[in-house]
Chain A
Amino acid sequence: MGIASFLDRDHTVAKPGYSRWLVPPAALAIHLSIGQVYAFSVFVNPLLAYHAADGSAWSHKEVGYIFSLAIVMLGLSAALFGKWLETAGPRKAMFVAATCFGLGFLVASLGVKLHSLPLIYLGYGGLGGIGMGIGYISPVSTLIKWFPDRPGLSTGLAIMGFGGGAMIGAPLATDLMTFFRGSGHQPIAAAFFCMGILYFIFMLFGVFTIRVPAPGWKPAGFVPSVHRSAMISSHNVTVNAAMSTPQFWLLWIVLALNVTAGIGILESAAPMLQNLFPARVTVIAAGGFVGILSLFNMGGRFFWAALSDFIGRKVTFAIFFTVGAVLYFFLPSIALLPAFVLVAGLLISMYGGGFSTIPAYLKDLFGGINVSAIHGRLLTAWSVAGVVGPLIVNALLDHYKAAHQPLSQAYPLILHIMAGLLVLGFFANLLVRPVAARFWMAEGDIAPVDIIQH
């Protein structure tokens, strides 16, 4: 069997007896790897300090574009390749993701060695970003098909990996750069090279392990509820039809607002804590606050998505938008440090929970067959929020700086704006209704391999 046919969807169909509990580790291998992008900041200072032979160096802005480009490419490739992924199958998509992500590091390594910023943009930002986008959506519909009884739990497990990826990526990059310092190799280039190889191998574990369920497969003893909620459709919608429904755009707004609010706090967590608790929090301690938020971000992705299987997606998002808005509003007035940290952590858990609950929400509304493609298109909301969130925060901070006013006065306003955004999100979520019958796919449009219990 050649490599091409090994990657085919047909060769990915699980044999009888295959345990569905092997699928989440496959998805985690991909998400824990591509989640490295959130640890890219550890390369920023070394890249700024790195000079070419002629003594030239890169500016903060130029280095910052590497991360921004990767995130933009993530959103774009998820939107563009989602439809291809549904026909190519998860194994081929994961292989392409692993190749692009690994190769991206290798090209970026060459770029560092030659002190060529365009090569780093092409490598980490371009190729790496495409790998991240395809990798992010590749296991989603497969997990939903294996876990029709617990779609939230299964996608939560995978997307939790994306939140945890930075926890591996940051110390790995730091340790590698330390290891290669004084070895004769350029430490950043060598770290990029090793990470490209290591992540490629780790992602191949997902490629080899992933399987799709056989047509008609369902978990032992699973009987789809006849009294299902009106918000859970038993019909499927194509990706193009989904984009012409109001539900898609309402969920787009829901995700965009939830992410914008979360990024607002994540982006400036350490300086915010130092400004609000000036006498008590050092720079090192503020770094610890970022660590706590990372743990809540990761845990929230699993907890809220798993909980949504029991309380419903709409209710879960309603909690994010009501409890979240109240907590954001009162956060700046909390004077007790442990209480402040706990509330901020809870807010970040809801930010992560939004990412992991949205695929199951899409599956409920649009069916499971095209969920990866629809999810890919919806992730453009993330790209937009990734620009808008920091823009709001930085514009306000710049305004206070220019007016020579203390930044501690800017944060309450920032957090109150985030509370307002969540209130808007509450109404967008409230307007979500079941998809009208005219958007449903006809039975004949569904390929036999896709007729599985959704």
Chain B
Amino acid sequence: MTRPTNTSLDGVTAPKPSSIFVIALAWIIVLFPAGWGIYLTALRAARLFRG
């Protein structure tokens, strides 16, 4: 497997796209606390049907 490069065949530097890892990390940073909050709220919501 070849490593992705940001240099095209004609030698002109092509823009380097944001890596999937960076995008995933950004989403994890914000969704982790949100997920914690949703989990706790879902537990609280379940009380309604437990009586």
Contact = CB atoms under 8 A, between A and B. Distances in A.
B23 A19 contact: yes
Nearest to B27: A25
A32 B33 contact: yes
Interface string B10-51: 000001111000110011011101101110111011111111
Contacts of B34: 28, 32, 161, 164, 167-168
A18 interface: yes
B16 A17 contact: yes
A178 B51 CA distance: 26
B26 A22 contact: yes
B42 A168 contact: no
Interface residues of B, number: 27
Nearest to A164: B34
A274 B47 CA distance: 14
Contact of B18 (A17, A166, A169, A341): A17
Given A22-B22, A32-B33, A291 B41 contact: yes
Given A22-B23, A28-B34, A168-B36, A295 B42 contact: yes
Nearest to B26: A25
Interface string A282-315: 1011111111101100100000000000000000
Contacts of A167: 34, 37-38, 40-41
Name A's interface SS. helix
Interface string A368-392: 0000000000000000000000000
Contacts, number: 93
Given A25-B30, A167-B38, A294-B41, A284 B18 contact: no
Nearest to A341: B48
Contacts of A84: none
Contacts of B44: 287-288, 290-291
Nearest to B33: A168
Interface residues of A, number: 40
A17 B17 contact: yes
B38 A164 contact: yes
Contacts of A179: none
Given A19-B18, A285-B51, A171 B42 contact: no
A21 interface: yes
B42 A291 contact: yes
A249 interface: no
Q: Which of A16, A25, A32 has the largest count of B CB atoms less than 10 A from its CB? A: A25
B42 A17 contact: no
Nearest to A30: B30
Interface string A420-452: 000000000000000000000000000000000
A15 B15 contact: yes
Contacts of B38: 164, 167, 295, 298
A29 interface: yes
Nearest to A171: B40
A205 interface: yes
Contacts of A18: 18
B48 A292 contact: yes
Given A18-B18, A29-B30, A32-B30, A292 B45 contact: yes
Interface of A: 15-19, 21-22, 25-26, 28-29, 32, 161, 164, 166-171, 202, 205, 209, 280-282, 284-292, 294-295, 298, 338, 341
Interface of B: 15-18, 22-23, 26-27, 29-31, 33-34, 36-38, 40-42, 44-51
17 contacts: A22-B18, A22-B22, A22-B23, A25-B27, A29-B29, A32-B30, A32-B34, A161-B30, A167-B37, A167-B40, A285-B51, A288-B46, A288-B49, A289-B48, A292-B48, A295-B45, A341-B48
Given A17-B16, A21-B18, A288-B50, 5 more contacts: A19-B17, A288-B49, A294-B41, A295-B38, A295-B42
Query: Which 8 residue pairs are nearest across A and B when measured between Cβ atoms?
Result: A167-B37, A16-B15, A288-B48, A17-B15, A288-B47, A291-B45, A19-B18, A291-B44
